[in-house]
Amino acid sequence: MTDPNADNGRRGAILGLLIAAVILAFGLWLAHDLTAASKLQDCLMSGRTNCNVIEPAR
């Protein structure tokens, strides 16, 4: 016999894991974005004018 509350507990655990993964992904994206902005500000504050990232042509 299966317990209906056990299925509800699994669903809650999976939902919690999914929410934690979304928060982690958002935190990593935010940290990367803030690091890039900080590097750009450091470059500009040092008086340089060529702070844009130049990507090579493919």
Average pLDDT over residues 30-36: 95
pTM of the model: 0.67
Average pLDDT over residues 25-32: 98
Between 53 and 19, name the one with better pLDDT: 19
Average pLDDT over residues 14-33: 97
Average pLDDT over residues 1-17: 78
C-alpha R_g of the chain: 22
Q: Where on the phi/psi map is residue 21: left (φ > 0), alpha (ψ -120 to 50), or beta?
A: alpha
The values of phi and psi at residue 56, to 5°, are: -70, 150
pLDDT at 18 over 60: yes
Average pLDDT over residues 19-24: 98
